[in-house]
Amino acid sequence: MSSRIEILNDGGYRSDGRKQYELRDITIDLTQQGTADGSAQLTHGLTQVLVTVFGPREAKMRSQTLHDRAVLNVEMSVAPFSTGERRKRSRADRRILEMAAMIASTFEPVVQTNLYPRSQIDIYVHVLQQDGSLLPACINATTLALVTAGVPLLDFVCAVTGGVHSTSPLLDLTTLEENDVPHMTVAVMPRTRKVTLVTMETRLHVERFRELFELACEAGQTIHREMKYAVKDRTVALVNAMDAGSKGGAADDHDRDVVMDDRI
């Protein structure tokens, strides 16, 4: 069933007024939440997720520990009010378990788990609102939460969705677009341009796939920049606060001794 709303109109605009390759606004909040070791609240358009990270810490389930590395435990909960139509999903919901497993496998090769044998890293993903691109939002927020928790990562993981409307590729789909066009999610590590996740549940022509895949990888770099700025902002703020405190200077002399390395 196709929706009555035009996915891409003649002027080249999408239903929410964006251009084909335009991403929605991303807002990142890395302030401390509760007792978590690291947390990130990421708002991507109308999609909003909160990820908290605990660990590495003593494993709760001793039988599940690994003798040579830490276990990544991803648990996901979706707020019943997060969607247009209310839907309460239990924690054992198949769809949720699948998403959590995808997030875990995305981060397995990225987190340096070998540094923490027999430990456990808990990643709790809370979906507060959904309007498309849910998995990328979860992945990006998880990256940020792990970074704020000081968990060693080989690189950021930056994810984005892409879809194809007839022959035109689109980036960062909303729910409306996801329901209508074939789409996929790609997660990249920006430095090496390695891909840690590709998932697609709909059919797509192989030619289109290639084009879209490359486009999504490129968009990942843009998202990386946003995420990196957020992390650097916070790091600078905290380091400055520590300097001011320990050197007895007041907080007014900012940026005094800090050099930002802004290379991509």
Partner 1 sequence: MISFASFPSTSEAYGRYGNTRHHPDVEDDVHMDLDEDDFEENVQRLTVPGESITSSHAFMRGHGTYVDNDEVIASVAGTVERVNKLITVRAVRSRYNPEVGDLVVGRITEVQPRRWKVDANSRQDAVLMLSSVNLPGGVQRRKLESDELQMRTFFEEGDLLVAEVQAFFSDGAMSLHTRSLRYGKLRNGQLVTVPPILIRRLKSHFVSLPCGVDLILGLNGYIWVSKHVKQSEQEGEEGFDAEAVYSNKNDDIDEATRAAISRVSNIIKILAAHFVPLTDSVLLEAYEWAVEQESSVKDLLLDDVGENLVASLGSGLRQ
Partner 2 sequence: MAVALVSKSERDYIKTSLQTASPLRADGRSLLDFRTVLLETGVAPLANGSARLNIGKVAREGGGGTDVLAAVKLEVEDVESGDGVDGGRVACSVTCSPSAYSHLSSNALDELQHDLTVILQQTIAHRSLHPSNLTIIPGRKAWLLNIDAVVLADSGNVVDALFMAARAALWDTKVPRTRPVEYRAPESSRATEKETQDSMDVDQGTSGFDTRDMARDAADFELPDYWDEGEVLHGRERWPICVTLNLLPPIHLLDATLTEEASIPLRLHLMFSFPPSTPPILQAIRLSGPGELDLAYVKSCITDGEKYARELFSALESKLREEDLRRNTKARDRFSSLR
Task: Enumerate residues 39-58 that contact partner 1 by CB under 8 A.
Answer: 55-58
The letter for the amino acid at 23 is L
Count CB-CB contacts under 10 A for residue 116.
Answer: 20
DSSP per-residue codes, 147-216: HHTT--BSS--EEEEEEEETTEEEES--HHHHTTS-EEEEEEETTTTEEEEEEE-S---HHHHHHHHHHH
Query: Within 118-177, which residues bind partner 1 (CB under 8 A)?
Result: 118-119, 147-156, 171
Q: Are 46 and 129 in contact (CB under 8 A)?
A: yes
Query: Within 131-170, which residues bind partner 2 (CB under 8 A)?
Result: 131
Measured from the CB of residue 198, what is the shortest distance to partner 1 in angstroms? 19
- Candidate list 12, 60, 210, 237; residue touching partner 1; CB under 8 A: 237
Measured from the CB of residue 59, what is the shortest distance to partner 1 in angstroms? 8
> In the numeric block, which tokens belong to residue 168?
């035109």
Query: Could you identify the residue written with the tokens 């998932």?
Result: 199
Q: Are 132 and 174 in contact (CB under 8 A)?
A: yes
Q: β-strands 119-129, 71-78: how paired? A: parallel
> In the numeric block, which tokens belong to residue 136?
């990328």
CA distance 217 to 118: 34
The letter for the amino acid at 41 is Q
Residue 93: CB partners within 8 Å, gap ≥ 6? 78
Measured from the CB of residue 224, what is the shortest distance to partner 1 in angstroms? 9
Query: Within 49-88, which residues bind partner 2 (CB under 8 A)?
Result: 50, 52, 54, 60, 75, 77, 79-86, 88
175 or 221: whose CB is closer to partner 2?
175
- Candidate list 7, 8, 36, 212; residue touching partner 2; CB under 8 A: 36
35 scored as a contact of partner 2 (CB under 8 A): yes
32 scored as a contact of partner 2 (CB under 8 A): yes
260 scored as a contact of partner 1 (CB under 8 A): yes
124 or 156: whose CB is closer to partner 2?
124
195 scored as a contact of partner 2 (CB under 8 A): no
Measured from the CB of residue 155, what is the shortest distance to partner 2 in angstroms? 25
Residue 69 interface partner, choices partner 2, partner 1, none, CB cut-off 5-8 Å depending on type: none
- Candidate list 7, 8, 28, 204; residue touching partner 1; CB under 8 A: 28
What mask, x for binding partner 1 by CB under 8 A, covers residues 203 to 222?
Answer: ---------------xx--x
Exposure of 129 by Cβ count < 10 A (0-12 exposed, 13-18 middle, 19+ buried)?
middle
Interface with partner 2 by CB under 8 A: which residues? 31-36, 46, 50, 52, 54, 60, 75, 77, 79-86, 88, 91, 122, 124, 126, 128-131, 238
